[in-house]
Structure 1
């Protein structure tokens, strides 16, 4: 038993040249929308509130003051020379203390 499906569906049947023309116009539209979106992106701006700026400035100051760069350099040199010793018991106890903060 044969079923005739001609004319079923909302899309009309297109020949090859019509399909190519539609594809080319779709590509042209997408290319122009990409250009428009790039133009829009170039115009976007971001403003940081004064509170956020002051928090950022104070965080940067805290980081700079809390790092002992002399000690960092000593540790780097000891690592490079293979002389840096790690106290594993001290490390383990500090890891356990930190872990208890999150338990």
Structure 2
């Protein structure tokens, strides 16, 4: 059994052309002229309209993206506490947090 591999890259064009030929043969003569004039023209552009909720979410997202990932005020407070010797580490709280993180894996 022989298999013909030529023209595989243009297979989508062949399918489109054969579909167009089938449509032309199935439509009445007066509709064929209209069908051809539409296919030769430009296609309408797709448009997307966001709902009010989607617009609100988009606005909030842009505001969040503008925020810094670091709370600089808190960082400065901790730096100042460390420098003055007033920063205390709660070892029990630290151990509990490490254990809860370890349980995730």
What band does the TM-score fall into relative to the shorter chain?
Answer: 0.3 to 0.5
TM-score, normalised to structure 1, is 0.36
TM-score, normalised to structure 2, is 0.36
Indicate the structure with greater helix content.
1
